[in-house]
């Protein structure tokens, strides 16, 4: 995977989280995780899950759900689904 593609996936993940939580993009980085942004609570996490499923065009496997702890995990998931 090239560095450009890698950064593009992180950028898509940060945008997805920002939009799902309704917060400024500047509040989200590739290191942001659950609880680090006030809006990323249990309801915010559900919004993120729904946004990921819209992005990948299907449901996330239950074993993948438990892996989502931050933006970097979302980027890995998007890369896995080649979004």
CA angle 39/44/49 to nearest 5° reads 145
Domain borders along the chain are: 3-80
Largest CA distance in the chain: 34
Q: Is residue 42 classed as helix, strand or coil in its secondary structure?
A: helix
Tokens of 59: 């449901």
- DSSP conformation class of 24: -
pTM for this prediction: 0.89
CATH of domain 3-80: 1.10.1200.10
Check whether 3 has a pLDDT greater than 60: no
Q: What is the pLDDT of residues 14-64, one digit of tens each?
A: 999 999 999 999 999 999 999 999 999 999 999 999 999 999 999 999 999
């Amino acid at each position: 995977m090239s560095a450009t593609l890698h950064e593009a996936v992180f950028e898509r993940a940060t945008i997805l989280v920002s939009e799902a939580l309704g917060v400024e993009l500047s509040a989200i980085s590739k290191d942001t995780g659950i609880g680090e942004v006030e809006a990323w609570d249990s309801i915010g996490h559900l919004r993120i899950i729904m946004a990921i499923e819209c992005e990948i065009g299907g449901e996330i496997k239950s074993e993948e759900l438990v892996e989502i702890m931050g933006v970097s995990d979302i980027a890995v998931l998007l890369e896995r689904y080649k979004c």
